[in-house]
Structure 1
Amino acid sequence: MATDPSRKPDAARGARTARSPWREQAESWLTHHRKVARDSARRLWRTPVASLMTWTVMGVALALPVALLLLLTSLQGVSAGWESSARVTAYLNLDVSLEKARGLADDIRADGRVSALELVDREQALAEFRASSGLEDALDYLQGNPLPHTLLITPEESARSADGVQGLVQFVGGLDGVERVQVDLGWLQRLNAMTDLLARAVWVLAVLLASAVVLVIGNTVRLAIESRRDEILVAKLVGGTDAFVRRPFLYTGAWFGLGGGVVAWVLLQLSLWWLSGPIERLAGLYRSDFSLNGLSVDGALALIIVAMLLGWLGAWVAVKRHLDDIEPGDVAGG
């Protein structure tokens, strides 16, 4: 049986016709979103002073916790370097012989938390002290060598923390023949406790300031809703859905967030440029490599995205709260 060739084009046209409503709806949806986004941006540019004030408030609120987090990151990096250079010094009893000191060194070196160990015998220590102190004549009057054998212990990489070094100190201090173990970790533990407390305080401050940003955007969008009350009533009278009416204000909140994020990034860069010179000079006086780290490209993008989300959230809260109060039935009833 012969097949009519004209049916294939008709079927293809039918398939295109069946798909075209979905394509038209998608194109219409995208076109409307682009138009609403442009209109929202134009409305902000028509009031540059008010928009700039809102952006500045958002920028300051966002820049403050981010700056503190960057400071904390720099401090934690420096403290990590101090932890990596921590070394445990074990002083043996004066009556411990050199052979026993070598045995103790072998026992400690076999521990998995020890990376390297150096034995400084008492004669070597006295010779170094004599050469460096300039007290050769006074040392000649000593009856004997007052210095003990000393073990200089370098912890393994995994044990170079306050808790790891503390455990190693307890292990070495419990060995027979060890009189005293010295490691200056008290200041490091205090620094870690302070940075941990400051980190939690910064996160609390970030949450509070983020809430303030949401409230600021919400109040700004609420004023925009009131100023466009008649326009909203007309849109609802002709059948506009809540999503249709809500969309311009959500874009307004997102644009406010974008501007606030950019202002926050500019404030951070200016602050870093202003403070980097004095901080480097101060760190140089203390022979430290401390420096403030700025935001990376990913960090700047994350800041702007978070700001836009906060702006969108503030607008959504305002629209949800106040848009339901504007109903055509109220006007008709009046």
Structure 2
Amino acid sequence: MAREKNNNSLSRPARVDRAAAGTTTPRAVQKTLASPTQGWLGSHARCLIESLGRLHRRWLASLLTALVIGISLALPTGLYVLVNNLDTLSQSWQRAVQASLYLDDDFNSNDGESLARRIAARDDVDGAHFVSADAGLAEFRKASGFGSALDALADNPLPAVVVVTPRPGLPSAAVGQLLDTLRQQPGVARAELDQAWLSRLYAILSLIERAAWVIGLLLAAAVLFIVGNTIRLDIENRREEIEVMKLLGASDAFIRRPFLYSGFWYGLIGAVLGLLLLAVCFVALADPLTTLTRSYDGALAVHGLGIGGVFTVLGVGIGLGWAGCVLTVNRRLAAIEPK
């Protein structure tokens, strides 16, 4: 009985140890799994902050580099905003385009009203109204101020007119086809549409948009070169430190990480400076823009980038700064070997 009791007393701690091991193993596994992730995040956060501190220690050179990036981003972005606002204005101008159908002299008012109603019923027409010869003369008298000269005329020289407004958003080719169709209507002596200036405006807008893309690509290449050259100089200044780190067994990925975060900060700060430059330009042009919008009775509204545009500029800036670092740091680190 004593031997059995001893066996029980010896086996109880073993069971307790096994039970304790069973309860503590999941926590240990979780700690083991969490520690690499926490270490990886901590390492990246430390490199992110250290790279910002390194830029702060030579803040003047860093600010000049970021300012060049900001100017490079502000110029094509400003052209993009200009094209968008002019495109909105051209759409309002397009709604003001009207075709004038000059009727024959023997065309009476009833026939003119009937023709205007038939034309207004078309799907590609937004509206049409008839203007008699007498109404046209009265309107011309009021607008021109030549009342006494017009009183000297024996007859009314103005013909009756049907003014047709094409449907908004109708392509230029469709507007031309509409004009050809209206010209064939009975009683129409001549049809005119002053759309040449609008076609020229669209051509100018297309040119500005294409120029914005070309300038943006050229300036993006300049940003890559500027960031890459800045990182190259930084690598050369820290050449001895990099050699010591390689002697101690540091990998290229570990050495490359702070430089990549420097490119991140260059791009982010440059994008913020670019947005600030655009805001300053907008404030400087506020008075002329206000005068322009008032001349359109408030129908013209000037639009900025918006939230989506702001985040796009920030993303482009960060991407260019990061890409400029990647293109330079890989090649420069491969060329540095400990002596």
- Normalising by structure 2, report the TM-score: 0.85
Larger mean CA deviation between 35-44 and 259-268 belongs to: 259-268
Larger mean CA deviation between 287-296 and 198-207 belongs to: 287-296
Cα separation, partners in 2 of 1:16 and 1:92, compared to 1, 3 Å:
same
Asked whether the 8 Å contact 2:95–2:165 carries over to 1, the reply is: no
Instruction: Determine if the alignment matches structure 1 residue 270 to structure 2 residue 284.
Output: no
* SS in structure 1 at match of 2:130: strand
Asked whether the 8 Å contact 1:217–1:253 carries over to 2, the reply is: yes
Instruction: Determine if the alignment matches structure 1 residue 101 to structure 2 residue 85.
Output: no
Instruction: Determine if the alignment matches structure 1 residue 312 to structure 2 residue 318.
Output: no
Larger mean CA deviation between 306-315 and 131-140 belongs to: 131-140
* SS in structure 2 at match of 1:327: coil
* SS in structure 2 at match of 1:182: strand
Measured in 2, the distance between the counterparts of 1:38 and 1:128 equals 73
* SS in structure 2 at match of 1:157: coil
Q: Which amino acid aligns with 1:54?
A: T
2:200 to 173, 183, 190: 190
Q: How far off its partner does 1:42 sit? A: 0.7
Q: Deviations over 1:230-263 (max 9, x none)?
A: 2222222233222211111000001111111121
Q: How does 1:160-179 map to 2 (within 5 A)?
A: 162-179=172-189
Measured in 2, the distance between the counterparts of 1:266 and 1:158 equals 35
Measured in 2, the distance between the counterparts of 1:275 and 1:234 equals 55
| Structure 2 residue runs without a partner (length 5+) | 1-14
Measured in 2, the distance between the counterparts of 1:255 and 1:283 equals 39
1:25 corresponds in structure 2 to 36
Q: Which amino acid aligns with 1:135?
A: G
Q: How does 1:38-187 map to 2 (within 5 A)?
A: 38-129=49-140, 134-135=146-147, 138-139=150-151, 141-142=153-154, 144-159=155-170, 162-187=172-197
* SS in structure 1 at match of 2:194: coil
Asked whether the 8 Å contact 2:94–2:168 carries over to 1, the reply is: no
2:262 to 248, 252, 263: 252
Measured in 1, the distance between the counterparts of 2:132 and 2:242 equals 89
What is the root-mean-square deviation in Å for CA atoms of aligned residues? Answer: 2.7
Q: Which amino acid aligns with 1:268?
A: L
Q: How far off its partner does 1:299 sit? A: 2.2
Q: How far off its partner does 1:110 sit? A: 2.4
Cα separation, partners in 2 of 1:103 and 1:292, compared to 1, 3 Å:
closer
Cα separation, partners in 2 of 1:8 and 1:191, compared to 1, 3 Å:
farther
Q: Deviations over 1:109-139 (max 9, x none)?
A: 2210112221123344345445665536754
Measured in 2, the distance between the counterparts of 1:15 and 1:85 equals 75
2:10 corresponds in structure 1 to none
Measured in 2, the distance between the counterparts of 1:121 and 1:240 equals 90
Measured in 1, the distance between the counterparts of 2:178 and 2:20 equals 83
Q: How far off its partner does 1:282 sit? A: 5.8
Asked whether the 8 Å contact 1:162–1:188 carries over to 2, the reply is: no
1:14 corresponds in structure 2 to 25
Measured in 1, the distance between the counterparts of 2:179 and 2:16 equals 91
Q: How does 1:215-230 map to 2 (within 5 A)?
A: 215-230=225-240
- Identity score, percent: 35
Q: How far off its partner does 1:76 sit? A: 1.4
Cα separation, partners in 2 of 1:174 and 1:321, compared to 1, 3 Å:
farther
Q: Deviations over 1:277-315 (max 9, x none)?
A: 234346657878656543333322321221111101101
Measured in 1, the distance between the counterparts of 2:139 and 2:53 equals 78
Larger mean CA deviation between 288-297 and 319-328 belongs to: 288-297
| Structure 1 residue runs without a partner (length 5+) | none
Q: How far off its partner does 1:79 sit? A: 1.2
Measured in 2, the distance between the counterparts of 1:137 and 1:271 equals 51
- Normalising by structure 1, report the TM-score: 0.86
Measured in 2, the distance between the counterparts of 1:149 and 1:5 equals 110
Cα separation, partners in 2 of 1:103 and 1:279, compared to 1, 3 Å:
closer
Measured in 2, the distance between the counterparts of 1:128 and 1:305 equals 56
Measured in 2, the distance between the counterparts of 1:281 and 1:96 equals 45
Larger radius of gyration: 2
